[in-house]
A and B are shown apart, each in its own frame.
Chain A
Amino acid sequence: KAGVTQTPRYLIKTRGQQVTLSCSPISGHRSVSWYQQTPGQGLQFLFEYFSETQRNKGNFPGRFSGRQFSNSRSEMNVSTLELGDSALYLCASSPRTAVSETQYFGPGTRLLVL
């Protein structure tokens, strides 16, 4: 099976702009989670989508949003970008079943906000 893919891999934006990141999960996986990784805060959970619905949300402002499509692909949007949003954004997929206890991560999108 193909792994989790994320596009684009690198992005440069300026403060105030918005950005949309995309994640395609492993075929058959219906759960997609997003994480932000920064040197200061480490890896932090943003939110999880399952069957096109946001099921869990981390402690991030409303500028961070997402959605999931019927084919399980997910997008994450950050509006009114701030310098502190510069980070590696990782998505992970899972079949979210009792027999599969882990998540599989994509290569990430590195966002630089200038």
Chain B
Amino acid sequence: SQQGEEDPQALSIQEGENATMNCSYKTSINNLQWYRQNSGRGLVHLILIRSNEREKHSGRLRVTLDTSKKSSSLLITASRAADTASYFCATGSNYKLTFGKGTLLTVNP
């Protein structure tokens, strides 16, 4: 079963623009993570936010978490063509993760 559901399913923007993806989940969590996947390859861990945190930054990434709404958002600022990938939110533990369906981000040069 899918714990996280990303929105939108697909997003197409121009280089330099910001991209925002949203994730909703169903049960209580200890943390929520975001992963990136380039064209059907392995998943790359981007950022983890704990349930007692509201916002976290890493480079051009900004993640927010609203546990009352069971939702999170990932903002990528000043996007680049290399950011083109699928982005997944995931909840769970360090041995079992439950993923959403993902958002396919296309950044056009």
Interface residues of A, Cβ cutoff 8 Å to B: 4, 31, 33, 35, 42-43, 45, 48, 50, 55-56, 88, 90, 92, 94-97, 100-108, 110
**Of the residues A45, A94, A100, contact of B98 by C-beta under 8 Å:** A45
User: Complex: how many Å from CA A21 to CA B99?
Assistant: 22
How many A-B pairs fall under 8 Å by CB?
63
Q: Which residues of B contact A33 (CB under 8 A)?
A: 95-97
Which B residues are closer than 8 A to A by beta carbons? 2, 30-31, 33, 35, 40-45, 48, 88, 93-102
Asked, given contacts A42-B2, A102-B48, A108-B41, whether A96 binds B94 with beta carbons under 8 Å apart, the answer is: yes
Considering the complex, give the chain B residue whose CB is closest to the CB of A88. Answer: B40
Rounded to whole Å, the gap between the CB of B109 and the closest CB of chain A is 26
- The interface residues of chain B lying within 8 Å CB-to-CB of A100 are 94
In angstroms, Cα B99 to Cα A106, docked, is: 16
**Residue contact B42 to A102, C-beta cutoff 8 Å:** no
Residues from chain B with Cβ under 8 Å of A45 in the complex: 96-98
In the assembled complex, the CB of B12 is this many whole angstroms from the nearest CB of chain A, namely 19
Known: A94-B95, A106-B42. 11 other contacts (CB 8 A): A33-B96, A33-B97, A48-B96, A90-B43, A94-B94, A97-B94, A100-B94, A101-B48, A101-B93, A102-B45, A104-B45
